[in-house]
A and B are shown apart, each in its own frame.
Chain A
């Protein structure tokens, strides 16, 4: 009789231990799932950061491209695009696609004339059909006409894909 009581008590204690261990492992599992989610989230944030930095880098490269920039000694070449260079730059970029892909990657670069006229010219186009991120950056620029010696108001639109 006494042996039976001890055996029952031991069974209850084993049951308790098993349930405590079970709860402990459940909590541990929840912890791991959460940790994995946080790691995944961090990786996504880092990837977003990289895409943003790449977008800024491409915008800067496009803005200081000698193929487009004003080159006269008397004009301030910062944020200035030579109107006569645009056509030639388009042709060069089309004929040397591989070289320019190394500079811009998957991107689209357009120049829009805002004042006085309103045409838009695409100088580089290598978009991605399926992408995770797409950033558009618009930078105001002066479009210098060296023949008429006039400055127009334009925009360089840079779309980057990743």
Chain B
């Protein structure tokens, strides 16, 4: 009789333990907003940045500045800066007021082919990252990439 009671207690304890493991370890709140924000942020940042008109560089867009920087470097802005310096300064300012302000770690790069990177802002992501790549169509193809870490 006592053994039966003990067996029932053990069965109940086992059931309770299974229940605890199932609900406490498996169930996690899904992060719909986080995935939406990171997906939207990387693509939005890169597209908007490249479309932006420069303030004192013959009304050239950031995309035009990148193209000039990667090819002839003939453009001289009203403040005397070349296209590369002007782009770097403007992009850095925008990234400082956005991703840096929200404590995101990121790496923004522009490269011709695989090796010659001519714009590199931020630091390399160590683990997980959300990447967005945009290819600027020109005589030589420029690959603009934004990695948002985490």
Contact = CB atoms under 8 A, between A and B. Distances in A.
Interface residues on B, range: 35 or more
Given A16-B2, A52-B31, A52-B32, A140 B48 contact: yes
Nearest to B52: A153
Most buried by A among B19, B53, B98, B102: B53
Contacts of A56: 32-33, 36
Contact of A27 (B9, B32, B33, B37): B9
Contacts of A59: 36
B48 A30 contact: no
Interface string A36-64: 00100110010011001101100100000
Interface of A: 16, 20, 23-24, 27-28, 30-31, 34-35, 38, 41-42, 45, 48-49, 52-53, 55-56, 59, 76, 79, 114-116, 118, 135, 137-142, 150-155
Instruction: Give the 8 A-B residue pairs with the shortest CB-CB distance, closest first.
Output: A150-B53, A140-B44, A20-B5, A116-B55, A52-B33, A140-B48, A153-B52, A52-B32
13 contacts: A24-B12, A27-B12, A28-B12, A35-B19, A79-B47, A79-B48, A114-B97, A115-B93, A138-B98, A138-B102, A151-B61, A153-B52, A153-B94
